Amino acid sequence: MADIFHTAQAGSFFGGKFLVAMPAMRDEQFGRSLVYLIDHSDEGAMGLIVNKPLIDQSFSRLCSHLDVDVHGPQNIPLVFGGPVEKQRGFVLHSDDYGQAHDCKALPHGLALSATKNVISDLAQGRGPRDAIVAMGFAGWADGQLESEIARNDWLIVDADPALIFSADHGDKWESALKQSGIDPRLLSTTAGHA
Protein backbone atom coordinates (compact mmCIF):
# COMPACT_ATOMS: atom_id res chain seq x y z
CA MET A 1 0.00 0.00 0.00
CA ALA A 2 2.94 2.35 0.47
CA ASP A 3 3.13 2.97 -3.29
CA ILE A 4 -0.38 4.48 -3.31
CA PHE A 5 -0.66 6.32 -0.01
CA HIS A 6 1.33 9.44 0.77
CA THR A 7 3.30 9.42 3.99
CA ALA A 8 1.92 12.66 5.34
CA GLN A 9 1.26 12.92 9.05
CA ALA A 10 -2.33 12.74 10.22
CA GLY A 11 -4.02 16.12 10.16
CA SER A 12 -1.70 17.58 7.55
CA PHE A 13 -3.22 20.10 5.19
CA PHE A 14 -6.82 19.03 4.38
CA GLY A 15 -6.56 15.25 4.94
CA GLY A 16 -9.73 13.92 6.56
CA LYS A 17 -11.96 16.66 5.09
CA PHE A 18 -14.58 16.58 2.37
CA LEU A 19 -14.01 18.28 -0.94
CA VAL A 20 -17.35 19.39 -2.36
CA ALA A 21 -17.35 20.09 -6.10
CA MET A 22 -18.65 23.55 -6.81
CA PRO A 23 -21.44 23.93 -9.41
CA ALA A 24 -18.99 25.39 -11.96
CA MET A 25 -16.71 22.31 -11.83
CA ARG A 26 -15.25 21.94 -15.33
CA ASP A 27 -14.38 18.24 -15.16
CA GLU A 28 -17.44 16.03 -15.84
CA GLN A 29 -16.03 13.17 -13.75
CA PHE A 30 -16.07 15.42 -10.68
CA GLY A 31 -19.35 17.30 -11.21
CA ARG A 32 -21.41 17.29 -7.97
CA SER A 33 -18.77 15.05 -6.39
CA LEU A 34 -18.24 14.57 -2.70
CA VAL A 35 -14.63 13.50 -2.13
CA TYR A 36 -13.26 12.20 1.16
CA LEU A 37 -9.67 13.45 1.20
CA ILE A 38 -7.50 10.54 2.37
CA ASP A 39 -4.23 12.40 2.28
CA HIS A 40 -2.95 15.86 1.48
CA SER A 41 0.68 16.87 1.80
CA ASP A 42 3.31 18.89 -0.01
CA GLU A 43 3.69 15.84 -2.29
CA GLY A 44 0.09 15.97 -3.52
CA ALA A 45 -3.29 14.61 -2.50
CA MET A 46 -5.41 11.47 -2.70
CA GLY A 47 -9.15 11.17 -2.21
CA LEU A 48 -12.13 8.94 -2.90
CA ILE A 49 -15.37 10.08 -4.48
CA VAL A 50 -18.05 8.66 -2.18
CA ASN A 51 -21.30 9.64 -3.91
CA LYS A 52 -21.15 8.16 -7.42
CA PRO A 53 -22.48 4.58 -7.35
CA LEU A 54 -21.39 2.18 -10.06
CA ILE A 55 -24.74 1.21 -11.54
CA ASP A 56 -23.46 -1.69 -13.67
CA GLN A 57 -21.40 -3.31 -10.90
CA SER A 58 -22.17 -4.89 -7.56
CA PHE A 59 -20.29 -6.22 -4.57
CA SER A 60 -21.24 -9.81 -5.46
CA ARG A 61 -19.94 -9.30 -9.02
CA LEU A 62 -16.67 -7.90 -7.65
CA CYS A 63 -16.37 -10.93 -5.37
CA SER A 64 -16.98 -13.25 -8.30
CA HIS A 65 -14.29 -11.47 -10.32
CA LEU A 66 -11.85 -11.90 -7.40
CA ASP A 67 -12.87 -15.57 -6.81
CA VAL A 68 -14.21 -14.73 -3.36
CA ASP A 69 -17.15 -16.72 -1.99
CA VAL A 70 -19.99 -14.61 -0.62
CA HIS A 71 -21.65 -15.86 2.57
CA GLY A 72 -22.52 -12.54 4.17
CA PRO A 73 -24.10 -9.23 3.25
CA GLN A 74 -24.04 -8.35 -0.43
CA ASN A 75 -25.25 -4.78 -0.14
CA ILE A 76 -21.80 -3.21 0.23
CA PRO A 77 -21.88 -0.07 -1.97
CA LEU A 78 -19.51 0.18 -4.94
CA VAL A 79 -18.70 3.69 -6.10
CA PHE A 80 -16.56 5.39 -8.72
CA GLY A 81 -13.69 6.50 -6.49
CA GLY A 82 -11.92 8.52 -9.16
CA PRO A 83 -10.21 8.36 -12.53
CA VAL A 84 -6.86 6.97 -11.33
CA GLU A 85 -6.40 3.16 -11.30
CA LYS A 86 -10.11 2.53 -11.93
CA GLN A 87 -9.62 -1.24 -11.84
CA ARG A 88 -8.24 -1.14 -8.29
CA GLY A 89 -10.54 -1.26 -5.29
CA PHE A 90 -10.14 0.77 -2.12
CA VAL A 91 -12.27 0.00 0.92
CA LEU A 92 -13.07 3.00 3.10
CA HIS A 93 -14.42 1.59 6.34
CA SER A 94 -14.98 1.99 10.06
CA ASP A 95 -11.88 1.43 12.19
CA ASP A 96 -13.38 -1.56 14.05
CA TYR A 97 -11.86 -3.94 11.52
CA GLY A 98 -9.18 -6.08 13.16
CA GLN A 99 -6.71 -6.25 10.28
CA ALA A 100 -4.81 -3.13 11.38
CA HIS A 101 -1.59 -4.11 9.58
CA ASP A 102 -3.43 -3.89 6.24
CA CYS A 103 -5.16 -0.59 7.02
CA LYS A 104 -4.29 3.08 6.95
CA ALA A 105 -5.80 4.83 9.99
CA LEU A 106 -7.77 7.97 9.14
CA PRO A 107 -9.56 10.66 11.17
CA HIS A 108 -13.20 10.30 12.28
CA GLY A 109 -12.91 6.61 13.24
CA LEU A 110 -12.21 5.59 9.65
CA ALA A 111 -9.60 3.44 7.95
CA LEU A 112 -8.62 2.56 4.40
CA SER A 113 -7.72 -0.89 3.09
CA ALA A 114 -6.63 -1.91 -0.39
CA THR A 115 -6.21 -5.67 -0.11
CA LYS A 116 -8.25 -8.68 -1.16
CA ASN A 117 -8.42 -9.71 2.52
CA VAL A 118 -10.89 -6.99 3.44
CA ILE A 119 -13.13 -7.88 0.46
CA SER A 120 -13.04 -11.53 1.50
CA ASP A 121 -13.86 -10.66 5.11
CA LEU A 122 -16.74 -8.42 4.04
CA ALA A 123 -18.06 -11.23 1.83
CA GLN A 124 -17.94 -13.60 4.80
CA GLY A 125 -19.74 -11.15 7.11
CA ARG A 126 -16.72 -10.60 9.36
CA GLY A 127 -15.42 -7.34 7.94
CA PRO A 128 -15.80 -3.82 9.28
CA ARG A 129 -19.18 -2.61 10.54
CA ASP A 130 -19.40 0.10 7.86
CA ALA A 131 -17.74 -0.02 4.45
CA ILE A 132 -17.84 1.41 0.96
CA VAL A 133 -15.77 0.06 -1.94
CA ALA A 134 -14.35 2.69 -4.28
CA MET A 135 -13.06 1.65 -7.67
CA GLY A 136 -10.19 3.98 -8.47
CA PHE A 137 -9.17 7.15 -6.70
CA ALA A 138 -8.73 10.85 -7.28
CA GLY A 139 -5.15 12.07 -7.23
CA TRP A 140 -3.53 15.48 -7.42
CA ALA A 141 0.13 16.34 -7.99
CA ASP A 142 1.97 18.80 -5.76
CA GLY A 143 0.13 22.13 -5.86
CA GLN A 144 -2.63 20.91 -8.20
CA LEU A 145 -5.39 20.68 -5.59
CA GLU A 146 -4.44 24.07 -4.16
CA SER A 147 -4.78 25.57 -7.65
CA GLU A 148 -8.21 23.98 -8.10
CA ILE A 149 -9.34 25.31 -4.71
CA ALA A 150 -8.08 28.80 -5.62
CA ARG A 151 -10.01 28.52 -8.90
CA ASN A 152 -13.19 27.84 -6.85
CA ASP A 153 -13.56 24.26 -8.12
CA TRP A 154 -13.80 22.85 -4.58
CA LEU A 155 -15.20 23.81 -1.23
CA ILE A 156 -13.56 22.24 1.83
CA VAL A 157 -15.94 21.15 4.60
CA ASP A 158 -15.77 18.89 7.64
CA ALA A 159 -16.22 15.21 6.84
CA ASP A 160 -19.09 13.20 8.28
CA PRO A 161 -18.73 9.38 8.31
CA ALA A 162 -22.53 9.02 8.35
CA LEU A 163 -22.63 10.69 4.92
CA ILE A 164 -19.85 8.46 3.57
CA PHE A 165 -21.75 5.29 4.46
CA SER A 166 -25.24 6.60 3.66
CA ALA A 167 -27.05 4.56 1.02
CA ASP A 168 -28.63 7.73 -0.37
CA HIS A 169 -25.84 8.64 -2.80
CA GLY A 170 -27.95 11.22 -4.61
CA ASP A 171 -28.24 13.44 -1.52
CA LYS A 172 -24.66 13.27 -0.22
CA TRP A 173 -23.37 16.31 -2.13
CA GLU A 174 -26.23 18.54 -1.03
CA SER A 175 -26.21 17.17 2.53
CA ALA A 176 -22.50 17.93 2.97
CA LEU A 177 -23.17 21.54 1.97
CA LYS A 178 -26.21 21.86 4.24
CA GLN A 179 -24.32 20.39 7.21
CA SER A 180 -21.76 23.15 6.68
CA GLY A 181 -24.48 25.80 6.75
CA ILE A 182 -24.48 26.39 2.98
CA ASP A 183 -27.66 26.44 0.92
CA PRO A 184 -26.77 24.69 -2.38
CA ARG A 185 -29.45 26.73 -4.19
CA LEU A 186 -27.48 29.91 -3.49
CA LEU A 187 -24.22 28.69 -5.05
CA SER A 188 -23.36 30.33 -8.33
CA THR A 189 -22.44 28.25 -11.35
CA THR A 190 -19.76 30.79 -12.29
CA ALA A 191 -16.62 31.52 -10.34
CA GLY A 192 -15.78 35.07 -9.41
CA HIS A 193 -12.95 36.89 -7.69
CA ALA A 194 -13.02 40.14 -5.77
Which of these, 51, 111, 107, 61, lies nearest to 82 by C-alpha position?
Answer: 51
Is the per-residue pLDDT at 89 higher than 60?
yes
Q: Kindly state the average pLDDT of the residues 44-66.
A: 92
Q: How many residues does the chain have?
A: 194
Could you give the domains of the chain?
17-186 (3.40.1740.10)
Min mean pLDDT across 25-34, 46-55, 184-193 is at 184-193
Q: What is the pLDDT of residue 4?
A: 41
Q: What is the pLDDT of residue 3?
A: 40
The CA distances from residue 55 to 58, 85, 174, 175, in Å, are: 8, 18, 20, 21
Q: What is the pLDDT of residue 101?
A: 62
46, 15 in Cβ contact below 8 A? no
Give the C-alpha separation, 78 to 89, whole Å.
Answer: 9
Q: What is the pLDDT of residue 6?
A: 39
Q: Kindly state the average pLDDT of the residues 77-101.
A: 89
Is the per-residue pLDDT at 149 higher than 80?
yes
Q: What is the pLDDT of residue 188?
A: 59
Q: Kindly state the average pLDDT of the residues 43-71.
A: 92
Question: Using 50, 70 and 90 to split pLDDT, how confident is the model at 158?
Answer: very high
Question: Using 50, 70 and 90 to split pLDDT, how confident is the model at 7?
Answer: very low
This prediction's pTM = 0.87
**What whole-number percentage of the chain has pLDDT above 90?**
59
Burial annotation 105-123 (CB, 10 A radius, 16+ → b, else e)? ebbeebbbbbeebbbbbbb
Min mean pLDDT across 24-28, 90-94, 150-154 is at 24-28
